[in-house]
Amino acid sequence: MCGVAGLVAVCGAVLLQPASGAPAHASHSADSSRITVNGARRGPVFDGLGAADGGGATGRLLIDYPAAQRTQILDYLFGPGGADLQILKLEIGGDSSQADGALPSVEHRRGQVDCQSGYQWWLAEQAVARDPHILLAGLQWSAPGWVGSVWSPADIGYVIDWLNCARSHGLRISYLGGWNERGFSMSWFERLRRTLDTDGYGYIRLMAADTFSNRTLASGRRVYDPSRTWYVARVAAAHPAFRAALGVIAAHDTCGGPTRGFRCESTAAARRLGLPLWLSELGAMHGPTAPADLARSVSTGFIQAGITGYVQWPMITATPPGLLYAGHGLVNATQPQSGHYAVGPITWAIAQITQFTRPGWRYVNGASGYTGSSGTYVAYESPDHSDWSLVTENAGRHPHPRLRPRRITVHLSGGLRDGPVAVWSTNLDSSRPSAWFVHRPDLHPSRGTFSYAIKPGYAVTFTSTTGQSRLSARVPPSAPMRLPYLAAPDASNEPWGLATQEGSFVYRPCLGGVTGSCIEQLTPRTPVFWIPAMTKAPPSPYALTGGPGWSAYTVSARVLLPAAAASAGLIGRFSHQGTDPVQFSGYQFDLRGDGSWRLARNSFGGPARVLASGRVAGVGPGRWHAIALRLSGRRLTASVDGHAVAAVTSSAYRSGLAGIESSYAPVQFTDLAVRG
């Protein structure tokens, strides 16, 4: 039995029914459908379609791109002329990785607030500059260790400090969640609601519970369980104070995980509650089916489940090459040195919706449904009942569809404009950019009626609005990152081109008699992790740079160790994270403040193998020491203060990225370099 006084587990019985007020299907034959779009039939409010930069520092390297390419990528994301994202969901940084990187906390130690470090403030500012109406949301995946635990009272103070930092950057956060995929606590949300109201954030709408749940069948197969995923709505219906604290009921992967969109589910309790339903994470869409999966999910989510807000994850892959989610998202940007990037077709599947609607528009009742056995349609209207858009797709309602052209005949009424109709289409199955977001010849309705044949695999949008556009920028050729690498501060106050995977590596004034700024590992203790199992074997802080083709090189730095038990180290030939960013395959050389050192071969999925170890005289806390790791063919050489302490051979890893690592202590690095 599930308790509801404090922490509430996601559980309950299946309550599946058709979505309340579910749009009626169009009348259709095998190959044609008749659709009536009546502006007088106002439906639910459309809350928007956006993406998440979070669940890892997946946008880390974007700020390090050359100015011209950085501007182009931002335009592709936030428009005009690209995805024109309507929602930007931000992770509340907690010094711990969720996938492909860690975002720095604004408060590593309680009471010491830093509102300047990290790239996300800059990213959000850039998004707002391009679209002042974009909706910003925040959600926790992890938190600094001083918070104590998930759902602690101290955590509410941390969230308020993050909001204050956002306000200092001129950013207005409109939506705020609890913890990513960690259930929910009624008392925490109710207390947060009171605190927000007291601190001048009464306009923020709270979202719960940003989770999904599976259940195990007798066969052992795990399947998505909507009753557990949407259980928060059932609890809210029974507890008025909790219901009053919430503004949105949010679920993850309710159209599949990874999202496919063939079946989208909610519960009757969720639909009856009277709050908007969001698919707050359409997760990990990737590969050739991703554009169709996105387009299908946004339509089917409303038709089948009454969902009115959508957030895709991850927004961008701007990380060193070869990490877990390489190639996911709207843009792949892993080469800040060359400026090369690639815009994916999912960008244009999103544009087929976002460039024709705005949050605050409404769905048109009776004008959403299916075209035969292979497609969907959803109609939207502007608040003044004049402009309208009809979004269609013919990408299949089943995993292995037999697609054929679908002709639709559309009749406009109820005060909607019946002048020229603009038509834009994207071939969701094509890898050719020329087939993405194409402006077709306008249609001219006769007595408010027009017809069109939707080709197999296409998304087609019809609209009375104007102003749509498609960016087409010249992209520099792809080129791997070149040596040497010399660390220097970037606009995020982190080292250029260095992506933190755990902990927080940020520039601070140098200690130990050195002038200027040094890289400091600022996470003083293990964070409150997103994945509870990480607490049993916490990862060490580390950060990466370079390319997978780097083979023969020396990574070096000077380090300052604050205590005898503190350690600092170098990483060579990082090559693999498997399915877990906590562990990796590569070589690692550590020096402790008591002079002990270790050269090890890390291996994902198993313990590190120590290749050599020992102790060097003259090393102590509070003094700077030079360390270096040379990798040449099979030979590895580790040095301290210019003297080799280990020379071994290993053929486990032939190439890979370089990096730094430390213990959870205020270790400093300067003169970080990677040279061939």
> Token pair of 518, please?
């040094």
**Mean pLDDT, all residues of the chain:** 92
| 104 shares a domain with 250 | yes
Answer whether residue 489 is part of any domain.
yes
Q: 458 with 393: CB under 8 angstroms?
A: yes
Whole-number pLDDT of residue 582 = 52
Instruction: Give a yes or no: residue 598 inside a domain.
Output: yes
Element (H, E) at 176: strand 173-179
Residues 201-227 have pLDDT tens digits of 999 999 999 999 888 888 888 888 999
Per-residue pLDDT, 578: 59
Mean pLDDT along residues 461-481: 97
Tell me the C-alpha distance between 497 and 490, whole Å: 8
In this structure, is residue 535 part of a structural domain? yes
Please report whether residue 98 resides in a domain.
Answer: yes
Helix%, strand%, coil% for the chain, nearest 5: 15, 35, 45
- Alpha-carbon distance of 330 to 75, in angstroms, equals 12
CA separation for the pair 357, 381 (Å, rounded): 8
DSSP 8-state code for residue 248: E
Q: What token pair was written down for 289?
A: 């089916």
pTM for the predicted model, two decimal places: 0.94
pLDDT value of residue 607: 77
Residue 380 has pLDDT above 90, yes or no: yes
The 10s digit of each residue's pLDDT in 224-260 is: 899 999 999 999 999 999 999 999 999 999 998 778 9
Q: What are phi and psi of 210, to 5 degrees?
A: 50, 55
Q: Which two tokens stand for residue 575?
A: 């090559």
State how far the alpha carbon of 160 is from the alpha carbons of 20, 157, 193, in Å.
Answer: 36, 5, 11
Is 410 domain-assigned? no
Domain shared by 113 and 249, yes or no: yes
Instruction: Compute the distance between CA of residue 299 and CA of residue 280 in angstroms, rounded to an integer.
Output: 15
What region does 468 belong to: left with phi over 0, alpha with psi -120 to 50, or beta? Answer: beta
Q: Which pLDDT belongs to residue 21?
A: 37
Do 362 and 507 share a domain, yes or no? no
The mean pLDDT of 122-135, rounded to a whole number, is: 98
Q: Which of 312, 383, 311 lies closest to 344, judged by CA? A: 312
- Tokens 């998202």 correspond to 329
Last residue of a domain, one of 351, 368, 385: 368
Domain annotation covers residue 451: no
Least-confidence region, from 127-136, 221-230, 474-483: 221-230
User: What pLDDT digit, counting tens, does each position of 303-357 carry?
Assistant: 999 999 999 999 999 999 888 888 899 999 999 999 999 999 999 999 999 999 9
Going along 414-546, which residue ranges are E strands? Answer: 421-427, 438-443, 449-454, 458-463, 485-486, 499-502, 505-509, 517-521, 542-545
Peptide bond into 258 cis (omega under 30): yes
Q: What is the DSSP string of 648-661?
A: EE--S----EEEEE
Please give the angle made by the CA atoms of 603, 641 and 320, to the nearest 5 degrees: 40
Share of residues in the chain with pLDDT > 70 (%): 94
Separation of alpha carbons 209 and 214, rounded Å: 15
Listed range (148-152, 259-263, 663-667) with the worst mean pLDDT: 259-263
Domain CATH code at residue 118: 3.20.20.80
Q: In the predicted model, is pLDDT for residue 401 greater than 90?
A: no
Q: Using an 8 Å Cβ cutoff, are 62 and 70 in contact?
A: yes
| Cis amide prior to 80 (ω within 30 degrees) | yes
Q: Tell me the backbone φ, ψ of residue 11, rounded to 5 degrees.
A: -155, 170
> Quick check: 349 and 395 in contact, CB under 8 A?
no
Do the domain assignments include residue 437? Answer: no
Q: How many domains does the chain have?
A: 2
Place of tokens 């040095």: 639
pLDDT score at 535:
61
What DSSP designation does 447 have?
T
Q: Residue 564 in contact with residue 592, Cβ under 8 Å?
A: yes
Which range marks the domain in which residue 614 is found? 485-675
Amino acid identity of residue 640, one-letter, is V
- Identify the CATH number of the domain in which residue 542 sits: 2.60.120.560
Last residue of a domain, one of 318, 350, 368: 368
Instruction: Please tell me whether residues 514 and 643 are part of one structural domain.
Output: yes
Within-domain flag for 461: no
Render pLDDT for 284-296 as a digit per residue (tens, 0 to 9). 788 999 999 999 9
Domain boundary among 368, 399, 423: 368
Q: What is the mean pLDDT of residues 554-565?
A: 98
Res 389 pLDDT > 90: yes
Cα–Cα nearest to 354, from 210, 259, 474, 470? 470
Q: pLDDT tens digit string along 522-550?
A: 999 999 998 876 666 778 899 999 999 99
